[in-house]
Copies of this chain bind each other. A is one copy, B any other.
Amino acid sequence: MNYQKILDEIYAEIQPELSYGKVADYIPALAEVEKKQFAMTLTLPDGTMYSVGDSQKRFSIQSISKVFTFTLALQLYSKELYNRVGVEPSGNAFNSLVQLEYENGIPRNPFINAGAIAITDSLISHYKDEYKTLEVIMQFIRDISCNPILSFDQIVAKSEMEYGDRNLALARLMKSFGNFENDVPKTVMMYCKHCAITMNTEELSRAMMFLAFGGTDPISKKTFISSSKAKRINAVMLTCGHYDASGEFAYHVGLPAKSGVGGGIVATVPGTMSIAVWSPALNKYGNSHAGTIALEKFTTKTGLSIF
C-alpha cells in the first residue's frame, strides 16, 4: 500500500477540520498551543516511517503516558494489580469521582485519571521513591523509543499541579478507601510529570512499536513485555483508551488507541504497524478532533482494523 499517498490525502482532507474543537485550556501552559496544527506518522516493522505535517514538533503527551506507566506496572505486578485498578470502561468522564465513590475507591481502569494515579502510586511503592520512579519511567520511554533525549516539560508539570485539585481529590478519595500507599501530593506531582512528557508523532509512533508487535520491538528486537500482556494492554486501549468515547472510537476507527488532552493519539495495528497522530484541538470528550477523524479516514482508506 502507498502509505505516503494515503497520509497525504488525509492531510489534504483534514484541513477544514482543523478549525473545529478547542485546545485544552484547564492549564495555561496547554491553552497557549496554536490550534491549527496537525501531524501523523506511521512506523512499519522494518523501521520505515511515513509522516505528514509537523511530525517533528513535540507536544505534551499527557494521558498517552498512561499506556507506558500501565506497561511498567504490568511488568512488576500481576493479579494483585487488579485489586487496585480494574480494566472496565467507566461510562463516566475521565476525572469523575462519582463511580470511584460508588465502587469503594477502586478505579475502573488505568486510563482514567484515578486509575493512572493509582498506577503511579503502585510504581512508587515498588521503587520506594518518587524520583527513582520518574527515572524508571523516563528511561523506559527512552528505551522503547530508542531515543535517549526524551524529557518532560517542567512548566507544564508545575502548571498541572497548580490546577490539580481534581486529581488531588481523586487521590484523597482513593486514600480514604485504603487504595493509596504513598504521599498524596508527591504522587500526584509525579503523575503530573509523566503526563508532561513531550514527544512528536515520529517519536510516539516509534515508542508504540513494541505494543503493536506483541511486546517485542521488531526494529530493536528488544522485548519489553510478554506477548500475552501486550495483547491485554491493547485490549484496554480499545475499550478504555478514549475516555467516555472509547466505544465510538472502536466503532468508527476499530484500532486499539490512547489519546491525550495535548491532542495526541497513538494507535496500533497489531502485527502490522503503529500510528501516532497529533492535532491539539479537542472534541467534547477531550480527544483530538482532527486526530480522531484522521484515524477514521486511515482505517477506511486502508481497510486496516482489528475487526
Give residues in A with beta carbon < 8 Å to B: 86-92, 96-99, 101-102, 108-109, 165-166, 168-170, 172-173, 175-176, 180, 184, 228, 230-232, 234-236, 238-240, 244-248, 250-252, 254, 256, 270, 300, 305-307
Sample of 9 more A-B contacts, CB < 8 Å, known A89-B246, A234-B307: A89-B91, A91-B99, A165-B176, A166-B173, A168-B168, A228-B300, A235-B250, A238-B239, A239-B251
Known contacts being A91-B90, A246-B88, is A172 close to B165, with CB within 8 Å?
A: yes
Task: Select from chain B the residue with minimum beta-carbon distance to A100.
Answer: B97
23 contacts between A and B (CB under 8 A): A87-B247, A87-B250, A88-B91, A88-B245, A88-B246, A89-B246, A91-B99, A97-B101, A97-B173, A165-B180, A169-B170, A169-B172, A169-B173, A232-B307, A235-B247, A235-B307, A238-B238, A238-B239, A238-B250, A239-B246, A270-B306, A306-B306, A306-B307
Residue of B at shortest CB range from A103?
Answer: B91
Query: When chains A and B are docked, how far (Å) is the Cα of A101 from the Cα of B114?
Result: 15
Min CB gap A238→B, angstroms: 6
| In the complex with contacts A239-B89, A239-B238, A165-B169 CB distance below 8 A | no
Q: Which of A86, A232, A256, A307 has the most CB of B within 10 A?
A: A307
Contacts of A108 in B (CB 8 A): 91, 247
Please report the C-alpha to C-alpha distance between residue A226 and residue B166 in the assembled complex, in whole angstroms. Answer: 38
Taking CB atoms, residues of chain B closer than 8 Å to A270 are 306-307
Q: Are A254 and B239 in contact (CB under 8 A)?
A: no
What separation, in Å, do the CA atoms of A152 and B48 have in the docked complex? 55
* Chain B positions within 8 Å of A256 at CB level: 307
Tell me which residues across on chain B come within 8 A of A172, comparing CB atoms: 165-166, 168-169, 172
Residues B307 and A231 in contact, CB atoms below 8 Å apart: yes
- How far, in angstroms, from A87 to B250 measured CA to CA in the complex? 9
Min C-beta distance of A208 to chain B, whole Å: 13
Partner of A247 from B96, B109, B245, B248 at Cβ < 8 Å? B109
In chain B, what residue has the closest Cβ to A228? B300
Known: A232-B251, A251-B232. A88 touches B307 (CB 8 A): no
Residues of B within 8 A of A239 (CB): 89, 238-239, 246-247, 250-251
Given contacts A96-B101, A97-B173, whether A248 and B89 have CB atoms under 8 Å apart is no
Closest 3 A-B residue pairs measured CB to CB? A91-B91, A169-B172, A89-B89
**Complex: A252 Cα to B234 Cα, angstroms:** 11
- Residues of chain B with a CB closer than 8 A to A86's CB: 247-248
Enumerate chain B residues within 8 angstroms of A307, measured Cβ to Cβ: 230-232, 234-235, 238, 256, 270, 306
Closest to A168 in B: B172
Residues of B near A300 (CB, < 8 A) are 228
Q: Which residues of B contact A228 (CB under 8 A)?
A: 300
Q: How far is the CB of A213 from chain B (nearest CB, A)?
A: 11
Considering the chains assembled together, what is the distance between the CA atoms of A88 and B249 in angstroms? 9
